[in-house]
Structure 1
């Protein structure tokens, strides 16, 4: 009931951003306006609202469904909504994905596609499912634009109703500066606290001779990166290690903790490379996320596991989770439990158990109650097609009380596309309704020009850091020679790891703009003054008559739980 109420409220909020319905007969009350991109479509009384809905049956391909041509304007953003209900399940694939997709056809005949709204996994028992999201029209004029329902296995019939496409008029372009005021306000209120300095000086001391410097030495907000274990562990790669140690406080193994990497052949475990890297990171004060206990996409599952089924598969999974969490106990802070479960349901399908994802969390939580467990998925912040589905999944796992701590939002932004801070905020606002922390777990983006890339990184990072629900941000690479998306996503280049324009911009944010370093002349600031400081570890230095007073140096820390930290300075 609460989920239904929230969806209704959020949909009304989206209407505030939108105007001008683009679809005709979105309620399916007549047979016209919709094209039946399937062998059979018919009006039925099995509806969501109104009198009728449209049933699609006898399909031969997953992409077949009701479709309609609409007119869109270049570069504008459109809100999408619709309802779908499965009429049967598919025995071999219990969990289905359903989508509202968009097809753009250009004058040349070239076609491109976008997922405007999606939901997964979906079963017949779920009844009416709300598809909600948005899409951006291409910058170039298109010849035709078609929106259509698709997704389930061809053997699955479904009904659709209450479709809508409207322009979102309150979403400025990414280059519009209006978003900065809001994100800066959040950063100032959420990421910083007051440092109240109280100075007591010996009688007759000339305050013109005194300087107080408050300098942050370490940030507490998690800024991290993915780390490649073979490169990190290689003796010749000291510059790679040094860059990580000097610029990040969190890390995540790229692949060495994934099941195929630690047990490619059944019974032959190899945690050595991962543990060597983790111990090296921790010796430099860097905390580590575990990624990932299992991954439900078939391409990410080793052949010997794919050959299992039934109790043998369950036993193998449970043994792997127990072994892995035992070996990494005390070494990792987080575990991604079942990676990208919105996009893959191999284990659920293989075991004919649509709720097996909950069992994975139960196993992991029993095995190590001290580690924080996460969902982790993509296309929920970089685009909005799966955002509502991810919120629904988080609520389901949270309500099952299986040890869920937070949501990982990967944030692999679309190549060559400027991240829109307004849309990032809208999607994060929606996900935050789950009431659990959000971590940006795999952020990267691409632009061929490094100055453009710098702008893209700054806009994305400010939007993410400037959202109150975000608790940590990790990059999925930084070095052109090890980045999975290549030089056009890199922050540093060459054998010396030299920062490019994008890297210099990111480091300026992390180590200058979002770190505190203030010097106050006592004659001007007075004996009581306030420094607004970012959370982390600090040193206070006193200079008297141009010389450092080492006997007056202090260290302290401020945390998000502190509104004000008091520091007393006695100058004698």
Structure 2
């Protein structure tokens, strides 16, 4: 990791409680726009539809005041027929009951509403998308970059909790996993509230092949839905010009001050550099402290094939990795099938990363995901045949093989990736009724990994939806998995991986982030917390808003005492699984998040300090934990040394300026005799002569020169003697005008001496 240069300055994101999004319309009252919008220029009213439906008429009156092109109603030009188009759907629709709701006594402008009551799954798990309120669009198709606006009133009538978790979604049949709503996640309160949902479609769909829906499948909740409408603006309006319910995210008061205080407590050390002569008297010296790397891991996923390509993009890719990061993970090549199919590529990529002096985490020994091409063909065949014994034997052998193959070159291993979600191998081995997060084979996999892992190589868990979003049931399962492994005999759980793939609707406030981290830290019983796959891939999330979220997310995570690693799942759009990486677009243009990242990692949390020793010969500084180069100039010469600050404790470096007397040039027998003289506070007998170097100052500073070739007396002239004679190799010393000796005492103090020849 090096300090990137030539970066444009970017103002720090606001630390105010509210992060602004777009012009606020989401909490406008049930009738009419806010006064501040009155008088805005609008499109020709005649071009807007003129529905007979009074509720739709009021919507048109409101929207036509905006400076946007008119839209058309989808489904129907009246509330009743639009509402009738929606029906229950989803894998667990049988859990839900729907009934018509009379709102005539409610102070609302609409007349049609539905109440949906969602029951609970037998196993108590949560499936937020298992129950949907869905309507297919049969009267028109949709194209890439079309803009639409969904409208709905939502509430939780007071049963099943104080809020109801709802997600508004739109997509097409060929891309069911996608959601093109700018911000669909809602926690509906107990009063009716209107929500505008801007939509920017990213694919095309024929009539009958695309739809809108509400995910209401949080078990045990009741949701009231009314006032439904959908307007189509084609490509005449930018989705960001439309009203949105989510104008701001309320950040907790004082969150940043609290995070900064935790960072000072857990991520810095107080360092004292003392410079004195051999008599213990203070020495005036210039001190320069330059940070080289963080103790904390800031990393990225790396694509192994890209490393081997020979073009300008690959060259930039290889340059940016060690420039911006000190840790990595291979995106695919350490996965089971990839490793066995092409071990040479996996090894070459691992070697390249290690040559850059970067850490690397192993991802992953096992991943029971057929769709990800992570299971060897023979194992998949055995799974198809129900051969549990073969799958168990092969999986245990592979854990042992890959961990032993890389040894301590790997910092930590994801032993079983996504054990909460990908359960096929687990259930094949231990039966379909097994609890996947407490399965006997899961314990055996982790016991094997613990047994074969070298000392210092951590054994981790890793999963998704365990931090991002409102997936409380997944968090519960993950916590149970952690508890299970912590309590298991023979398992040493070293790290808790939190994948952290965020969308716009899955943002967390700093307080919510800290609560989740505290929860996992307590369950982990000392295990490190790692963000393993961070990204913000969402085409409907403005880059400036992503940068704001990134600022508070990274600062909050870095402040947690158990946090150890933060890895992005790629940093460049052209090498990202969703073509939407945090730092660079496909043409290597930095995104706003790039500047937030570099400002925090290489400026706000980076220590470069210069100064002079005070009257006591000391130089005090608070420095971020990491690796450093220290240069001290005493006037007679400079001494440079490297050291690490690894813990947030008080640290000191003692430098003793000693007198030396060079008594020869090395001619004759090739040795240079040097006297190292004692003082009132320094005894040459205390020097660890295995650490001593001598010669031209440039050589010695670089770690070269001559070591000790002869020490008369076999280790010193005796305690209390006024000098120690030491012989060095003349040719290796390359002496010219000045000689320098440096080394350490047995207590670790640095000694340095100069003699002008």
- Common topology (TM > 0.5): yes
The equivalent residue for 1:492 is 584
- Alpha-carbon spacing, 1:255–1:60, altered in 2? closer, same or farther (3 Å): closer
Query: Are 2:128 and 1:64 aligned?
Result: no
* Runs of 5+ consecutive residues of structure 1 not aligned to the other structure: 1-58, 72-81, 88-95, 117-134, 151-159, 166-171, 264-268
- Deviation readout 1:363-400 (Å, 9 max, x if unpaired): 32334354321110111111242222211110011111
d(CA) in 2 for partners of 1:68, 1:466: 46
d(CA) in 1 for partners of 2:258, 2:415: 34
Query: Are 2:545 and 1:452 aligned?
Result: yes
The equivalent residue for 1:293 is 365
* Runs of 5+ consecutive residues of structure 2 not aligned to the other structure: 1-88, 104-117, 135-148, 155-163, 168-184, 198-212, 224-247, 659-757
- Deviation readout 1:7-50 (Å, 9 max, x if unpaired): xxxxxxxxxxxxxxxxxxxxxxxxxxxxxxxxxxxxxxxxxxxx
Contact 1:64 1:149 (8 Å CA) reproduced: no
d(CA) in 2 for partners of 1:104, 1:231: 43
- 629, 650, 653: which is aligned to 1:564? 650
Query: Are 2:558 and 1:468 aligned?
Result: no
The equivalent residue for 1:261 is 338
The equivalent residue for 1:277 is 349
Query: Are 2:195 and 1:141 aligned?
Result: yes
- 569, 576, 590: which is aligned to 1:483? 576
- 301, 309, 320: which is aligned to 1:243? 320
The equivalent residue for 1:362 is 447
d(CA) in 1 for partners of 2:460, 2:488: 14
The equivalent residue for 2:617 is 527
Offset, 1:177: 5.7
- Alpha-carbon spacing, 1:206–1:374, altered in 2? closer, same or farther (3 Å): closer
The equivalent residue for 2:746 is none
Query: Are 2:589 and 1:507 aligned?
Result: no
Contact 1:388 1:430 (8 Å CA) reproduced: no
Contact 1:253 1:291 (8 Å CA) reproduced: yes
1:388 aligned counterpart, secondary structure: helix
Offset, 1:259: 1.7
Offset, 1:540: 2.0
The equivalent residue for 1:196 is 272
Query: Are 2:427 and 1:349 aligned?
Result: yes
Offset, 1:164: 10
Contact 1:174 1:421 (8 Å CA) reproduced: no
- 351, 375, 378: which is aligned to 2:464? 378
- Alpha-carbon spacing, 1:333–1:206, altered in 2? closer, same or farther (3 Å): closer
Contact 1:552 1:571 (8 Å CA) reproduced: no
d(CA) in 1 for partners of 2:217, 2:537: 29
Moved more, 506-515 or 415-424: 415-424
- Deviation readout 1:528-558 (Å, 9 max, x if unpaired): 342111111112223568xxx7533232211
- 476, 486, 496: which is aligned to 1:407? 496
- Alpha-carbon spacing, 1:479–1:182, altered in 2? closer, same or farther (3 Å): same
- Alpha-carbon spacing, 1:64–1:247, altered in 2? closer, same or farther (3 Å): same
Contact 2:287 2:619 (8 Å CA) reproduced: no
- Alpha-carbon spacing, 1:344–1:114, altered in 2? closer, same or farther (3 Å): farther
Match runs of 1:17-416 below 5 Å: 61-65=91-95, 86=122, 97-99=125-127, 136-137=186-187, 141=195, 148=217, 173-175=249-251, 178-200=254-276, 210-236=285-311, 237-263=314-340, 269-300=341-372, 301-308=375-382, 309-353=387-431, 354=434, 355=439, 356-370=441-455, 371-385=457-471, 386-401=474-489, 402-415=491-504
Offset, 1:478: 0.6
Offset, 1:491: 0.6
- Alpha-carbon spacing, 1:377–1:368, altered in 2? closer, same or farther (3 Å): same
- Deviation readout 1:497-525 (Å, 9 max, x if unpaired): 453332122112111111111222446x8
1:261 aligned counterpart, secondary structure: helix
1:541 aligned counterpart, secondary structure: strand
2:195 aligned counterpart, secondary structure: coil
- Deviation readout 1:63-86 (Å, 9 max, x if unpaired): 432569999xxxxxxxxxx99684
1:542 aligned counterpart, secondary structure: strand
The equivalent residue for 1:13 is none
Contact 2:533 2:569 (8 Å CA) reproduced: yes
Give the TM-score normalised by the residue count of structure 1. Answer: 0.69
Structure with bigger gyration radius: 2
Contact 2:133 2:216 (8 Å CA) reproduced: no
- Alpha-carbon spacing, 1:311–1:141, altered in 2? closer, same or farther (3 Å): same
Count of matched residue positions in the alignment of Structure 1 and Structure 2:
446
d(CA) in 2 for partners of 1:369, 1:213: 38
Contact 1:381 1:411 (8 Å CA) reproduced: yes
Contact 1:68 1:146 (8 Å CA) reproduced: no
Offset, 1:217: 1.4
- Deviation readout 1:170-212 (Å, 9 max, x if unpaired): xx93555621112111111111111012233799x999x8532
The equivalent residue for 1:538 is 628
Contact 1:445 1:456 (8 Å CA) reproduced: no
Offset, 1:333: 1.6
- Deviation readout 1:273-306 (Å, 9 max, x if unpaired): 1110111111121111110111123423455422
Contact 1:387 1:430 (8 Å CA) reproduced: no
d(CA) in 1 for partners of 2:609, 2:548: 27
Contact 1:174 1:422 (8 Å CA) reproduced: no
Contact 2:153 2:194 (8 Å CA) reproduced: no
The equivalent residue for 2:84 is none
The equivalent residue for 1:554 is 641
- Deviation readout 1:76-119 (Å, 9 max, x if unpaired): xxxxxx996848xxxxxxxx8444678688965799x9689xxx
Moved more, 273-282 or 303-312: 303-312
Contact 1:419 1:459 (8 Å CA) reproduced: no
Offset, 1:453: 2.8
d(CA) in 1 for partners of 2:468, 2:494: 22
Offset, 1:412: 0.9
- Alpha-carbon spacing, 1:419–1:60, altered in 2? closer, same or farther (3 Å): closer
Contact 1:222 1:473 (8 Å CA) reproduced: yes
